[in-house]
Amino acid sequence: MNRVPAEFTDTFVIYPSEQEEGFWVAHSLNTDQIGTGECVLDAFVAVLRAMRALLEEAGRNPKLRLLSPAPKEVRERCKHARRLPMEFIEIASMILEGKPAAQAPDPPYGGKCRNLAASVDLAELAV
């Protein structure tokens, strides 16, 4: 069975979409999964949902390749990213659990920040 190792942490980089103005992309560096949304929080929740689905399928299908690094240009974005505030990660976790969550504030970096990064223990997402 394809189990998620304990303390398996992935890093995500979140950046404005180059294809759709006003949208954000959240990209997993270790699995190359993405999520999109109209704000940072929506994109982050979308990629975490994609990760949860990937991890569930990996648990059922041992032949599924779980790790697949993101492209080099995405990894480069992460090198220059600011850390996503913990508040966003906590709110995203609450949304994933189906709990009511307050709306996340705008990132404190203003419109000048092009890249944000967050690390999450993926074993916590496995069902």
Q: What is the pLDDT of residues 55-78, one digit of tens each?
A: 888 878 888 888 899 999 999 998
- pLDDT tens per residue, range 3-47: 555 567 889 999 999 999 989 999 999 999 999 999 888 999 999
pLDDT of residue 112: 53
Query: Residues 26, 31, 33, CA angle at the centre, nearest 5°?
Result: 40
pLDDT of residue 1: 40
Residue corresponding to tokens 């759709």 = 20
Residue 115 in any domain: the answer is yes
Residue corresponding to tokens 């508040």 = 87
Q: Domain range spanning residue 78?
A: 9-124
pTM, rounded to two decimals:
0.83
Q: No. of H helices and E strands in the chain?
A: 3, 5
Residue 82 in any domain: the answer is yes
Residue 78 in any domain: the answer is yes
Amino acid (one-letter) located at 94: M
Residue 2 in any domain: the answer is no
Residue 119 in any domain: the answer is yes
Domain count across the chain: 1
pLDDT of residue 113: 57
Residue 117's CB is within 10 A of a number of other CB atoms, namely 18
* Rounded (10°) angle between helices 86-96 and 40-60: 50
